[in-house]
Amino acid sequence: KPHWGFYTWPKEFKVYASPLNQDWSNREYSQFTPLEQSIIGIFKDTEFLQKFASLYSLEDEKEDKEFDAVHFSLFNRIFRTFNDYLLDNFIAILDPLLVDNKESSQRLAAEITAGIICGSKLWKFEKREKVLKLLIPRMETTLLEVPQENEKYWGTCIATICGSCEPRQIGWLIELLFQLINKPTDISSQIKTRIYLLQSALNEFEWLIPFEWKRLANYCIKLTDNTFQNVRQRAGSCLATCAFFYHKDAFYYPELDEKFKYLKIVQVIDEINGKLEPLWNEAINSIQSQNNNNNKNNDSSIKHVDSTSVLLNGKDEFKKEKLHFLTLISFLYSLKSMYGTHLDTSSMKLLPLFTHYANDKTDEELQASCITHIVQNMGLSIISNDQINVLFEVCQTIQEKGSWKAKITLLRFLQVFVFTNLFILRAKNGTFDFLKSLLLKLLVDGRFEVREASAETLSGLVRAGIISVDEQLVKSAETLASSPKQSIERHSGVLALASIVLAFPYSVPSFLPKVLMHLCKHATEPQPIYGTVKRALSEFKRTHQDEWHEHKLEFTEDQLQILTDLIVSPTYYV
């Protein structure tokens, strides 16, 4: 019961008496009842035991069998009741099962092994030592090369053992598993399986073993740049489990050694992030170069390379760093599955890296992982009130220094994130003002695609009532639209006006006629302003035509005439 002692104790806490006082589990043969003696005699019959093993290891092609808890319970009770009188007999049938890689044989071997270890936990020292001398070399040989299809049986076996025994009773098993992961091998499935087995063991002790969790974390950190995906994913999952038990309000004795304190999430992120410096530098250099080009060329056609990575002789210069990054993503994904919708502050600060490499077409795995993490993990996460400013600072960094593709990715993230955290954002003053300010800054970006994405986001937030259309917003849009012709600001203003119009597809608020009239002034201007106005007016006509007999009452005669001339006139569409 690992939950006891984490923050409280029960009024009455019962534990097993020491093996010296466990007379029933250490009986002599003469102390068994006649029925028990007859059962021992049956199991000592070699022919019967072989048939017994054959029956319990039958293959069933129609069913994918799991580790059988009922079988385990039987073996556990056999050894708890009859102590070591049947040990040699079961070891005799265990040996051929261990060397047979068939799933049914390995499953039964795992069930017997778990039964022997759990059933012997109350035996006296001499008998317990005998068990360990028999099992340790056999388990070491078997677990060294567990086939992929048999991994689940041994993982459940080890978890069952650790869940049934006190940590100090099976320290030998933990040390054995640590020795296994340190044995050299180049086979990825073996590395992954060994980590999985150790993780299965430590999971059962939860918060009780911070030192062992740190040992496992130190090993997994070395695997973050492993070239095999299955190894990286397992390492990321393990690191998440290692850091799961940290609590910010946990009390530590001042003299407690650092190695006995829980691993923090921020420590794992900082450790891996420290290896990503070339990726940060590559992103920043790419950003500065791209933004300089945009500023020089304004909105003229700019030569752009889709890849954000440097390729040398057909090889990715930052392949090693990207492997570290992929493991970090796996770590964060596993954390989310444990913490639910909580978003850690340290992971927020990685958003610029995610938005940048979500557009890296030279590495499909990294690109897909970044996109998924941004939208599904970060976008759907719940933040606390004190995290809002941190996130907005990160968003501002991307707005100021991000590449145009990173800015578009940021906008896609905000579209999801704002709705997820709507009530939290509303509770803090100034958040929507900052959001509106951020969108207006992105509206005047040097890249056409960023301006369009920003206008789309602004329209969606206005339509949802998150950003209100006040006099200040309309005035800001009109001021931008009145900028000198052929300027980025002028197009930005037209986009802002269009986004307000598109935010009300089935109604005509009192301010909308004025916005429409200002938008109509730009109907004859060259591209891209012309295209923006045309799309906005066409969409306005489509969404309002069914109830136009009511909507037109909001317009004056002059306004209706201007609107009719633009929407109906055939020359407008030439």
Q: What is the pLDDT of residue 302?
A: 27
Those residues whose C-beta lies under 8 Å from the C-beta of residue 568, and which sit 6 or more positions away, are: none
**Residue 400 · residue 357 · CB < 8 Å:** no
Q: What is the pLDDT of residue 287?
A: 54
Tally of CA atoms within 13 A in the half-sphere of 244 that contains its CB: 26
| DSSP calls for 483-494 | SPTT-HHHHHHH
Both tokens of 52, joined, read 């017994």
Q: What is the pLDDT of residue 273?
A: 95
Both tokens of 277, joined, read 């410096």
**Residue 451 · residue 491 · CB < 8 Å:** yes
How far apart CA 244 and CA 213 sit, in angstroms, is 10
Rounded to 5 degrees, what are φ and ψ at 483?
-65, 165
How far apart CA 468 and CA 197 sit, in angstroms, is 55
Element (H, E) at 229: helix 229-243
Both tokens of 56, joined, read 């319990």
> Coil, helix or strand for 182?
coil
Q: What is the pLDDT of residue 288?
A: 54
Element (H, E) at 315: strand 315-316
Long-range Cβ contact pairs of 163-171 (< 8 A, separation 24 or more): 163/204, 164/76, 164/118, 164/121, 165/117, 165/118, 165/121, 166/121, 167/205, 167/208, 167/209, 169/121, 170/117
Q: Please report the domains of the chain, with CATH numbers, ordered by start residue.
A: 1-205 (no CATH), 429-574 (1.25.10)
Q: What is the pLDDT of residue 251?
A: 79
Q: What is the pLDDT of residue 312?
A: 46
Both tokens of 263, joined, read 């691993």
> Coil, helix or strand for 120?
coil
How far apart CA 468 and CA 479 sit, in angstroms, is 18
Distance of CA 67 to the CA centre of its chain: 28
pLDDT averaged per 10 residues, the chain (length 574): 79 86 89 94 93 85 78 95 94 94 93 95 92 95 92 95 90 95 92 95 92 95 94 95 86 86 94 93 64 47 39 66 96 89 89 93 92 92 92 92 92 94 92 93 93 95 92 92 86 94 93 93 88 92 90 91 78 43
Sign of CA dihedral 324, 327, 332, 333: positive
| DSSP calls for 316-364 | ETTHHHHHHHHHHHHHHHHHHHHHTTB--HHHHTTHHHHHHHTT-TT-H
Both tokens of 539, joined, read 């969409």
- Nearest 10 degrees: Cα torsion 151, 152, 158, 159: 150
